[in-house]
Amino acid sequence: MSDPKNLLVSKLNSKKAIIGIVGLGYVGLPLMLRYNEIGFRVLGIDIDAGKVNSLNAGKSYIEHISSDKLAKARETGFEATTDFGRASECDALILCVPTPLNKYREPDISFVVNTTEALQPYFREGQVVSLESTTYPGTTEEELLPRIQNDTLTVGVNIFLIYSPEREDPGNPDFETRTIPKVLGGHTPNCLEAGKALYEQAIDQVVTVSTTKAAEMTKLLENIHRAVNIGLVNEMKIVADRMGIDLFEVIDAAATKPFGFTAYYPGPGLGGHCIPIDPFYLTWKAREYGLHTRFIELSGEVNQAMPEYVVNKLMDGLNDAGKPLKNSKVLVLGIAYKKNVDDMRESPSVTIMELLQAKGALVAYSDPHVPIFPKMREHHFDLSSVELTEHSLAEYDAVVLATDHERFDYDLIKSKAQLIIDSRGKYREPAANVIKA
């Protein structure tokens, strides 16, 4: 009888394996397109019937992924389904599901657990299961391993378990799924070999580490590094502001040093599906070992306080104009978490909107990438994007530049807005109607 690992590796190398992508969002869809593009048959699985129906009709619901690409994938064998039973058809199952925090800033891995349990009856010999969701070290061993192994399936012998964190950067034109190196850890050496065969087909460089825990920690370190450095520059921004110094000018000058300095820029807080969330996965897990991660938690405090800092700057600006914030009309410019994308996850702009609304302001927003405020798990606004014109800008008591999309007409905004609260450093030259925040 053929060795299950060798048979699986052979199927992957010859592109005869069927790839199952579970979770068809910002991570799952680019991965699906990549495997489809290189000749694999790909089956997408998601609990959201609306997403499945859109994909099967060749229509995209993510701005930077074109419907043309999805239509082409459909023509070349891609199919989406809500039927988890079809997972048994797949030789590889790649889990790309959300891992948010709960209201206590603790990891919510219910999506990972529930997805694994939904797949549980359909795991079979000769499959490789990969978790890509960002999570705390130990999740793959503690949560997936016991749900995959049973009387007939032994991980590392006839079914294979790996962890390979996603590294998508939506809207970044310099990188794509293929060119971003892929970190990979296997539960056993056989698992690692199966994982390499899975990802080496689609990714230019696969970087292996010794364990799934090491791979899980790698992803956390990458994002904690960013969170801590952004926390540092956000704190520096407050200090520099008090001293009458433009921190953006300082950062640009420091960035001319060709060694030992990496430029990070301040903003209104952290957004996206990784940077505001992932550090707290480690702080939570570290408590199990009696450790207190002070650097991580301090940067979290600084970054979470930034939306309030921006609102306070707005209140000061209105106050100088003799206006209270209550009943003032405030337009928030940009509600995606970063420029040039439609991704709203953990966007500090939304927190700013909620703080403004709670203080009685009349809040509106403008975002060329988000025409209608989407349904979100925790935030609810019945609003649509305001078109920026000379007339519309003049109607507002203040505008808050929260996300610096390239499609905004910054000259128009500067010439027509009564008051601009600039949290992104777009307006470097002093102006009577611009307050840096």
Strands across the sheet containing 128-131: 79-81, 41-45, 18-22, 92-95, 128-131, 160-163, 182-186, 206-209
On the question of pLDDT at 431 being above 90, the answer is yes
On the question of pLDDT at 273 being above 70, the answer is no
On the question of pLDDT at 170 being above 90, the answer is no
Using pLDDT thresholds of 50, 70 and 90, give the confidence band for residue 97.
Answer: very high
Give the predicted TM-score (pTM) of the model.
Answer: 0.91
Residue 90 bears catalytic tag: no
How far apart, in whole angstroms, are the C-alpha atoms of residue 436 and residue 248?
10
Which run of H or of E encompasses 184? strand 182-186
**How much is the pLDDT for 93?**
98
Spatial neighbors of 356 by CB under 8 A, at least 6 apart, are 311, 314, 325, 330, 332, 363
Instruction: Tell me the domains of the chain and their CATH numbers.
Output: 4-210 (3.40.50.720), 258-436 (3.40.50.720)
Per residue in 40-94, pLDDT tens? 999 999 999 999 999 999 999 998 899 999 999 999 999 999 999 999 999 999 9
β-pairing, 182-186 with 160-163? antiparallel
- 90, 96, 191, 274: the catalytic one is 274
On the question of pLDDT at 378 being above 80, the answer is no
**How much is the pLDDT for 361?**
98
**How much is the pLDDT for 1?**
52
Per residue in 173-227, pLDDT tens? 888 889 999 999 999 999 999 999 999 999 999 999 999 999 999 999 999 999 9
Using pLDDT thresholds of 50, 70 and 90, give the confidence band for residue 101.
Answer: confident
Per residue in 16-41, pLDDT tens? 999 999 999 999 999 999 999 999 99
**How much is the pLDDT for 166?**
94
* Closest-CA residue to 379 (of 370, 388, 369): 370
125, amino acid identity: E
Per residue in 348-377, pLDDT tens? 999 999 999 999 999 999 999 999 999 877
**How much is the pLDDT for 104?**
77
β-pairing, 41-45 with 79-81? parallel
β-pairing, 92-95 with 398-401? unpaired
How far apart, in whole angstroms, are the C-alpha atoms of residue 76 and residue 230?
43
Strands across the sheet containing 398-401: 362-366, 329-333, 398-401, 420-422, 434-436
On the question of pLDDT at 106 being above 70, the answer is yes
Average pLDDT, the chain: 94
Per residue in 217-262, pLDDT tens? 999 999 999 999 999 999 999 999 999 999 999 999 999 999 999 9
